Amino acid sequence: MTDIEQFRLQTREWLEANCPTSMRTPMPIDEMVWGGRNLSFVSEDQRLWFERMRDKGWFVPDWPVGYGGGGLDPQRLAVLESEMRRLRCRPPQINLGIWMLGPVLLEFGTEEQKRELLPPMARGEIRWCQGFSEPNAGSDLASLQTSAREDGDAFIINGTKIWTSYGNMSDWMYALVRTGPKEPKHAGISLIVLDMNSAGVNVEPIDLISGKSSFCQVFFDDVRVPKRQLIGELNGGWPLAKALLQHERRAMSKFSEISLPTHFDLLEYLRRYLPDASSPGEIALQQRAVSCLMEEHAFRLTHRRINETMRARQDASGLMAISKLVHSEQERDKFEVLLDVMGQRALGWSGDGFSERELALTNTWLNSFAQTIAGGSSEVQLNVIAKRVLGLPEAK
């Protein structure tokens, strides 16, 4: 038996013995475990699964053991992932830090920073949030203005960050700040990390057109951040931000993999609300709905193709570049069709006149508008495809 086969057997045995059966079921969105200072569990099984995986170093299976990781090589990592898929294990915890900041720290952090920041991340002790966008720096992220002025052994931070997911529930933030106000805009940006408990940090949740949301605005008023919390070079934050955003795209596709398939099955609604379309209008609506389902089917196949392409070690970058755009637009389009199928039953805002599910539909529909904007708007995605995939020239 080869070492890899041996590892597969051991892993399978360990997972079967240690992953509680209730952790092998699809995970509703409100049962995700977020690591951090305010760690909490809804069940004993959740806690067991979290602790067992943590103690194995398998929150971060491929990080070096010295930083709290599992020390697995890519081949063994693939084995672990496929065995977890086989058993349908839930991810034991969700942590933006691990997915996005972690890889950047491993590549660009100093030894001291790695020793200080990575082990708590690997143990799920710190929940991270991201401070990138600002009210006046959205798609044009590099125009950000939150300032970090040097003052002895610290930076003094002033300004505001917006669209910070779970900013009100996070322990630390990694943020892009302007350290070089006189440099060209891309060359005056630095990446820093800061404790959200620092004096002068204020967080306000944002209400969206869909109602309550996880998005927050974060305000910095003379916030003191030690200089050793600068990641990479001073004014060298932009390339790191680009690396982070690449990890973000990967993380988002991972996230959609682990979260439940969309709660609203268009086909189910079609059967219920339009069981036998007969008038020309109904038939046309039905065809529109079926087209939606077909587009979704083609996207699911494309998702599979991305995985096969990567497994074959071929270039999947072009396909990855379309993924977010297609997924978010298809979701929005699907809700638009659902609205037409259900009429005003899909437009309930509150009250007993509507079922919980109907109200959830309204909320998810309105929220789908945010999805085509967050994490790089559709227009930004199209720019990326046009320039990086198709090689079309920059505008003069």
Residues in the interface with another protein (CB under 8 A) total: 39
Does position 320 interact with another protein (CB under 8 A)? The reply is: no
Looking at the Cβ atoms of 96 and 292, the one nearer to another protein is 292
What's the farthest any 2 CA atoms get from each other in the chain?
76
Q: In the range 370-389, which residues lie near another protein by CB under 8 A? A: 379, 381-383, 385-387, 389
Does position 301 interact with another protein (CB under 8 A)? The reply is: yes
From residue 201, alpha-carbon distances to 161, 259, 277, 284 in Å are: 11, 31, 57, 54
Does position 284 interact with another protein (CB under 8 A)? The reply is: no
Stretch that binds another protein, among 131-139, 192-200, 316-324, 345-353 (CB under 8 A): 316-324
Looking at the Cβ atoms of 181 and 318, the one nearer to another protein is 318
Looking at the Cβ atoms of 24 and 288, the one nearer to another protein is 288
Does position 115 interact with another protein (CB under 8 A)? The reply is: no
- CB 144, min distance to another protein, A: 22
Does 150 participate in catalysis according to the annotation?
no
Does position 302 interact with another protein (CB under 8 A)? The reply is: yes
Catalytic member of 83, 134, 248, 296: 248
Binder to another protein among 304, 347, 353, 355 (CB under 8 A)? 304
Does position 9 interact with another protein (CB under 8 A)? The reply is: no
What is the three-state SS of the chain? Answer: CCHHHHHHHHHHHHHHHHCCHHHHCCCCHHHCCECCCCCCCCCHHHHHHHHHHHHHCCCCCCCCHHHCCCCCCHHHHHHHHHHHHHHCCCCCCECHHHHHHHHHHHHHCCHHHHHHHHHHHHCCCCCEEEECCECCECCCHHHCCCEEEEECCEEEEEEEEEEEECHHHCCEEEEEEECCCCCCHHHHEEEEEEECCCCCEEEEECCECCECCCEEEEEEEEEEEEHHHEECCCCEHHHHHHHHHHHHHHHHHHHHHHCCCCCCCHHHHHHHHCCCCCCHHHHHHHHHHHHHHHHHHHHHHHHHHHHHHHHCCCCCHHHHHHHHHHHHHHHHHHHHHHHHHHHHHHHCCCCCCCCHHHHHHHHHHHHHHHHCCCCCCHHHHHHHHHHHHCCCCCCC
Does position 286 interact with another protein (CB under 8 A)? The reply is: yes
Does position 322 interact with another protein (CB under 8 A)? The reply is: yes
Per-residue contact flags (x/-) with another protein for residues 36 to 75, judged by CB under 8 A: ----------------------------------------
- CB 293, min distance to another protein, A: 7
Sequence-distant (6+) residues with CB within 8 A of 346 are 338, 339, 358, 361, 362, 365
Does position 140 interact with another protein (CB under 8 A)? The reply is: no
The answer to whether 148 and 177 have CB atoms below 8 angstroms apart is yes
Does position 253 interact with another protein (CB under 8 A)? The reply is: no
Does position 299 interact with another protein (CB under 8 A)? The reply is: yes
- CB 385, min distance to another protein, A: 4
Binder to another protein among 295, 333, 336, 340 (CB under 8 A)? 295
Binder to another protein among 75, 139, 291, 355 (CB under 8 A)? 291
Binder to another protein among 154, 293, 339, 342 (CB under 8 A)? 293
Binder to another protein among 312, 313, 315, 356 (CB under 8 A)? 312
Cα separation, 279 vs 196, in Å, equals 59
Does position 213 interact with another protein (CB under 8 A)? The reply is: no
Does position 242 interact with another protein (CB under 8 A)? The reply is: no
| Site for another protein, rule CB under 8 A | 267, 286-287, 290-291, 293-295, 297-299, 301-302, 304-305, 308-309, 312, 314, 318-319, 322, 325-326, 379, 381-383, 385-387, 389-396
Active-site residues, by number, are: 248
